[in-house]
Amino acid sequence: MQDDLFGGALPTPPPSPPKAAEQPRNALAGPQDAPAPRKRTAAAVAPALFDDALLTLGAALPPLAHLGTSSWTYPGWQGLVWEGSPSESQLSRQGLAVYAQHPLFRTVSIDRGFYRPLTVSEYERYASQVPDNFRFVVKAPSLVTDALVRSEDGRGRQPNTAFLDPHLARTEFVEPALQGLGHKIGALVFQLSPLPLAQLDRMHEVLARLHAMLAAQPRVSERAPGGVLAVEVRDPEWLTPDFAAVLRDTGATYCLGLHAKMPPLAEQLPVVRALWPRPLVCRWNLNPVHGPYGYETAEQAYAPYDRMVHPDVATRDALARVIAGATSAGQPAYVAISNHAEGCAPLSARALAEAVVLALGERGTPDATAA
């Protein structure tokens, strides 16, 4: 029996599309279906030719299911997202508008803001390149999310006096994003880096600071219906009723962080349930086979990110059930997938979308809707 994560009767889902096999490249349309050649300059980035099964899958995915990737500047997605061999610099300038034409991509995680705050004009430029139903997931700057100041090698060296500073969080992140992205905000994510042991031993003090920071922010949903502030963590010690109470009291939500430093998805769900009903936010970051510090190993194994290397079917299916539960109950889901999750984020998104549609079909049966 399929677990109903959120309880209650669910609406009849759309019919499942034919399941397409995972491929490192999209199948091309037959000669009779081939579109007319595009007229463009050599420097233009153009979308890939999407196969019929992918188009059908996109139509079957619930409108509230916003799937996407972490960033979009990957030349290795040739044939999956774009044609030809665009450079990373070309994709940085032109890739987002093409990315947003993919049948499944309704969100993207803007991660570069973690390294330095972005300006209103930068956010406006992003918003202008995507359709009206597109929603952004944006990472807050490390200026306010790192407990330690980072050295040039990226390691924390000394206490960060701006950690969870309410004023800086508002002026350097939340307000510029609200002004620049407007209603296209899905989730503004404070991804809190691992805490030093001294702070882990005084979590009640850290929780008080988090509460003060979140409470000082404007309500995202007032300017972006369906938008939300979210908190992602890298220490299991956060996953307590007290943490959930802070998020509930301030109107924020929990961002499921699928990362080797955190417990599996099922062990993070109690925090999501404690906050229900709120938008679902998830960042699928790193395959557990690489361990908690395995980004470099994953990059070496997966680049140029054009194929599945380590399919994580258990995580994918569990996440699909959660997305199906949230969207069936009328809540938006914002899910950003990293290339480091399985090897190729576009292929992970396709497989996840297939699993979501399948889960919706299962929930439509009498047994599937039982609490």
Asked if residue 4 is part of any domain, the answer here is no
pLDDT at 68: 98
Asked if residue 5 is part of any domain, the answer here is no
Distances (CA, A) of 167 to 50, 143, 217, 346: 45, 12, 9, 37
pLDDT band at 158 (very low <50, low <70, confident <90, very high): confident
Please list, in sequence order, all residues whose beta carbon lies within 8 angstroms of the beta carbon of residue 36, skipping any fewer than 6 positions away.
Answer: none
Range of the domain at 177: 45-363
What is the count of structural domains for the chain?
1
Would you say 85 and 78 are in contact if contact means Cβ atoms under 8 Å apart? yes
Asked if residue 273 is part of any domain, the answer here is yes
**Euclidean distance between the first and final Cα of the chain, in Å?**
10
Asked if residue 7 is part of any domain, the answer here is no
- Radius of gyration of the chain measured on its C-alpha atoms: 20
Q: What are the structure tokens assigned to 119, written together? A: 């300006």
Asked if residue 249 is part of any domain, the answer here is yes
- What CATH number has the domain bearing residue 234? 3.20.20.410
Helix (DSSP H) and strand (DSSP E) numbers for the chain: 15, 10
Asked if residue 337 is part of any domain, the answer here is yes
Residue 100 CA, chain-centre distance (Å), reads: 14
* Per-residue pLDDT at 254 exceeds 70: yes
| pLDDT, tens only, 286-328 | 999 998 888 999 999 999 999 999 999 999 999 999 999 999 9
Asked if residue 9 is part of any domain, the answer here is no
- Identify the weakest region by mean pLDDT among 1-15, 197-211, 251-265, 286-300: 1-15
User: What integer best gives the mean pLDDT of the chain?
Assistant: 88
pLDDT band at 371 (very low <50, low <70, confident <90, very high): very low
Asked if residue 10 is part of any domain, the answer here is no
